[in-house]
Structure 1
Amino acid sequence: MPPHPNIALPRLIAHRGLSAHAPENTLTAVRAAFDIGCHWVELDVQLLGDGTPVIWHDPTLKRCSDGHGRLSRLSMDEARGLDVGSWFGDAFRGERMATLADMLELLASLDMGVNLELKVGRNRSGTELADTVVPRLLETLPPERIILSSFDLAALHHARSMADASRLPIGILTESITQTWQSRCKALDAFSVHTDWTRLTARRAREIKDAGYRLLCYTPNDPTAFARHWRWGVDSAISDDPACFAGIAPPPDLVDS
């Protein structure tokens, strides 16, 4: 099997951009993450009804915009008319939904890395999403600044058929780590395992690290509660507020040189 890229994963990755301080999954949230020193972000991508890939988490519009209804029924022209910032605060009024193209251009200009999650909506095709996203991702960013993840295994398998591990690092995304985790990783030639930090055990963490995979945890925002996870060998924490970890560093033997 081809080797994975030499990815210099940071200890802290900004979840949906700096989502504790800016509207999630927006260009503003990514710029804010960059401004506090984050070099990687985690973002979500899914398709509008007309097939345009956009950076968005929910299947619906209500929580993070002034719109309503399902994202899958929206056209790009309609999406451009939405305000996706004012729900978070008046300072963000007028923020527009980011397309994948918009976001990749920004990430490239800032030399940032991205853990991009394929969000496969109800009655939508994971292979269609991968077909749309993967070529654009590979055209814009180098492999060393990419991890593609998803809960949808069909989407990941299709993505893997489009590029080998040297070009496309893949992360297995799971809420809890089941006994089949290693077979799933092997089948995808995965780079990393991404899991809910509250469900991770020391035993599972040791198994993953001993098998040679990177281990990322979402979404810790309490550095004191998370401290033992660094000792378990976790590589990166995907946090809404990475700055809150500033005063509580991982153990010295775990800090990247």
Structure 2
Amino acid sequence: MLPAPPLDSLPPVMAHRGLSARAPENTLAAVRAAHAAGCRWVELDVQLLGDGTPVIWHDARLNRCSHSRGRLADLDRQRARRVDAGSRFAPRFRGEPMASLEAMLALVETLGLGLNLEFKLHRGRDPAALVDTVLPLVERCLPPSRWLASSFDRRALHALRRHRPDPHRLRLGVIDKRLPRRWREEVHELGAFSLHLDWRRLREPQARAVAASPCRLVAYTVNQPRIARRLYAWGAASLISDDPLALTDIK
């Protein structure tokens, strides 16, 4: 089993939705591929089906990552089991299931991986229900040093912090497309551990300001070595990448 990092650290690279450049995103296969490639942490998305079952899935709909159609919010556990989440990526992944949170956590725990779990909220979904369902399941499987709860949705982040006021018991990652104007205030209010920003909209002074603060800078989605080198030079603590193998030995 891989050693867990200290509570104050993150790995240099996290595998985005598993090793999504080489396996269908957010699947058990993608996480196994990430582990086989030597990745220490994976970034995954969690949301609820219509019946409240937590699953690992990014989009509000099924269309992009499967041959099924419709909204995730209209599925129950039984119908979700019939979704083929692999063959659209490549024929060899035919029959790869939509991963339940429970199955994914069991795999992450078995492989000794760290987890950056994004709490995904699409329009009309309830952040409190997502947090109330997911948080206890993750905490039963992983210690605070082995996972990070992240989200674009501030309601979800505040709900998480209300459940766990101690930032040493729950590390929060604030995700945004660009650096918020009030980022220092937001980080302070949430007791956030990290700030996750789109590298394409990030400028050097902004990156260095975050890196110099108590908050760690995480940049997404970085797949080019030259970009990775630039971001590390600016002070990024961790990068999220579709293909971490492309960034090997950069830091």
Shorter-chain TM band: over 0.9
Could you say what secondary structure the match of 1:68 adopts? coil
Could you say what secondary structure the match of 2:68 adopts? coil
Comparing 38-47 and 201-210, the one that deviates more: 201-210
Could you say what secondary structure the match of 2:117 adopts? strand
Counterpart residue number, 2:206: 204
Counterpart Cα distance in 1 of 2:103 and 2:8: 24
Counterpart amino acid of residue 201 in structure 2: R
Counterpart residue number, 1:231: 233
Deviation at 1:201, TM superposition (A): 1.3
Contact 2:15 / 2:34 at 8 angstroms: preserved in 1?
Answer: yes
Comparing 205-214 and 69-78, the one that deviates more: 205-214
Deviations 1:12-60 (A, max 9, x none): 1000000000000000000000001001000000000000000000000
Counterpart Cα distance in 2 of 1:59 and 1:159: 22
Counterpart Cα distance in 2 of 1:15 and 1:125: 25
Deviations 1:177-201 (A, max 9, x none): 0211111111110000000011111
Alignment of 1:181-200 (within 5 A): 181-200=183-202
Alignment of 1:27-106 (within 5 A): 27-106=28-107
RMSD: 1.0
Any runs of at least 4 consecutive aligned residues in structure 1 with deviations exceeding 6 A, and if so which?
A: none
Counterpart residue number, 1:213: 215
Deviation at 1:7, TM superposition (A): 4.0
Counterpart residue number, 2:158: 157
Could you say what secondary structure the match of 1:215 adopts? strand
**Which among 221, 244, 248 is matched to residue 246 of structure 1?**
248
Deviation at 1:168, TM superposition (A): 0.7
Contact 1:148 / 1:168 at 8 angstroms: preserved in 2?
Answer: yes
Could you say what secondary structure the match of 2:104 adopts? helix
Deviation at 1:8, TM superposition (A): 3.6
Matched, 1:175 2:177: yes
Counterpart amino acid of residue 36 in structure 2: D
The total of aligned residue pairs comes to: 245
Counterpart amino acid of residue 11 in structure 1: P
Deviations 1:136-170 (A, max 9, x none): 11111010011101011011100111112111100
- Identity, % of aligned positions: 50
- TM-score when normalising by structure 2: 0.95
Counterpart amino acid of residue 243 in structure 1: L
Counterpart Cα distance in 2 of 1:178 and 1:46: 25
Deviations 1:41-90 (A, max 9, x none): 00000000000000000000001112100000001100001111000001
Could you say what secondary structure the match of 1:63 adopts? helix
Structure 1: where are the runs of 5+ without partners? 251-257
Could you say what secondary structure the match of 2:218 adopts? strand
Deviations 1:211-252 (A, max 9, x none): 1111111101111133211110001110000001125x13xx
Counterpart Cα distance in 2 of 1:188 and 1:212: 13
Contact 1:7 / 1:145 at 8 angstroms: preserved in 2?
Answer: no
Counterpart amino acid of residue 72 in structure 1: A
Alignment of 1:98-117 (within 5 A): 98-117=99-118
Counterpart Cα distance in 2 of 1:88 and 1:209: 36
Contact 1:118 / 1:155 at 8 angstroms: preserved in 2?
Answer: yes
